[in-house]
Each structure stands twice: as C-alpha cells, then as structure tokens.
Amino acid sequence: MHLVSTEAYIVTGGRGVLQSLDRSGFRETPLAAGSVVWFTPGTIHRAVNHGALTAVVLMSNAGLPEAGDAVMTFPDAHLASAAAYAEAAAIDRPGSDPRALAQARRDLAVAGFLELKTAAEAGDDAPLTAFFDRAAGLVAGRAPGWRGLIERGPLDQARASVEVATRLAAGDAAHLAHGGIQRPRPSGGAIRLGMCGHLTTFDVAEGPVTPRA
C-alpha cells in the first residue's frame, strides 16, 4: 500500500486480476490487454497473474514509491516496530538468495493481506484501521525527507510547466528553441529486486543523456 503516491497499470498482454482493499471493501478488477487502472494512497493492492499477464506500471512522485512510500501487508506482529518490519522486508541478507527471500516476503505479505480481506468481508474494519495506523507509524521517520524529493521532481516540473504557460500567454515561445530528445541511461548498478519484480532505475532529472540515433 502506498501512503503518498498513485500507481497505475497499463496492461499490454495476458490476463489477470487486480485485488484491492480499501475503506469501501474488497474488490477484484479484471485485467486484460488494453486495461488501464490506477489506485490512490490507502488502497491495498495485489496483482494476480491468470496467464501471461504483462503490464507497464507507472507510479507518481519520481522515485518515492521505491524509497519507502509503500508498506507491505505483513501480519500485525511484523508491523509492531520498524525493526520487526525491516527484518521481514529484508532481501539482502549475507549468504542468502535474494530471490528466495523476495518470494518469502511476498508470501508473508499475501498472508497479511488475506487476514485483512477476511476481516473486511466479515464487516470488521478494525484490522484495516490498525494497518493504516501501523503503516503511518512505520514511515513517519522517513516522511520528512520525501518533501524534498517531491519538490525536486514532480513539483519542480509542474512549476516549470506553469512558467512556460505564463510566458506563452505573454507571447514568449523562446523555450521551443531548446526542444529535443533525450535518452537517459540506467542509474547504475545491477538490476535489483523491487517490490514489483526486477527493477532498473533511470534518473530523468539529471545525469548523462545521449541523443537518440
């Protein structure tokens, strides 16, 4: 579940379902080629592959979703403290297979999700409320740093767009002379396991870029 960012799926092939849980209850949204679905903070979500499901996943707020904006639905005992959560979420333990740890992490999160789902379907929203509170507590220490990331990323881009629109309204189109294509390189390092699978990051705000051939 994201606490700040919105996430979207653009399905490119196969079929599956998006399971979600929020204050309105549990639901399943079918996924097939051409489907577009997004969800806002406070929506617990789980994608289920029913056959060759592929999708482009877009998340708001630049790198915030992978910087701690999401909290996994582990059973409550693993959410009681930052240390307990970090232990359950870790996939980089020395001498261990990261893929095996990622799969175990997924299974633990699914177990917690199913507990919340069962309670919600029985009309008991107390566990969901408790999860929201736990999640907010877990990110409270990191949240102050998120403001700068948002200001340097999407907010800065929005301000630049407003400035361009203001100049255009005054008849100034000088920015068009600086148009061009950029192709960012990966930020560096090996492909790593993110929350949604294998993750390659690109810094589109700064760093070397090369013109497209």
Type of residue found at 6: T
Report the candidate in 39, 30, 36, 29 with the shortest Cα–Cα distance to residue 12: 36
Residue matched to tokens 């708001």: 60
How many other CB atoms sit within 10 Å of the CB of residue 71? 22
Strand partners, 30: 17
3-state SS, 55-67, equals EEEEECCCCHHHH
**pLDDT over 90 at 68, yes or no:** no
Least confident range of 39-43, 114-118, 181-185, 207-211 = 207-211
Percentage above 90 pLDDT, the chain: 75
**pLDDT attached to residue 64:** 85
Give the tokens for residue 48: 């289920």
Q: How far apart are CA 135 and CA 70, in angstroms?
A: 8
pLDDT digits (tens, 9 = 90+) for 126-164: 999 999 999 999 999 999 999 998 998 899 999 999 999
**Residue 68 dihedral angles phi and psi, to the nearest 5°:** 110, 5
pLDDT digits (tens, 9 = 90+) for 7-50: 999 999 999 999 999 999 999 999 999 999 999 999 999 999 99
Rounded average pLDDT over 177-183: 91
Q: How far apart are CA 83 and CA 87, in angstroms?
A: 6
Confidence bin at 90 (pLDDT 50/70/90): very high
This model's pTM is above 0.85: yes
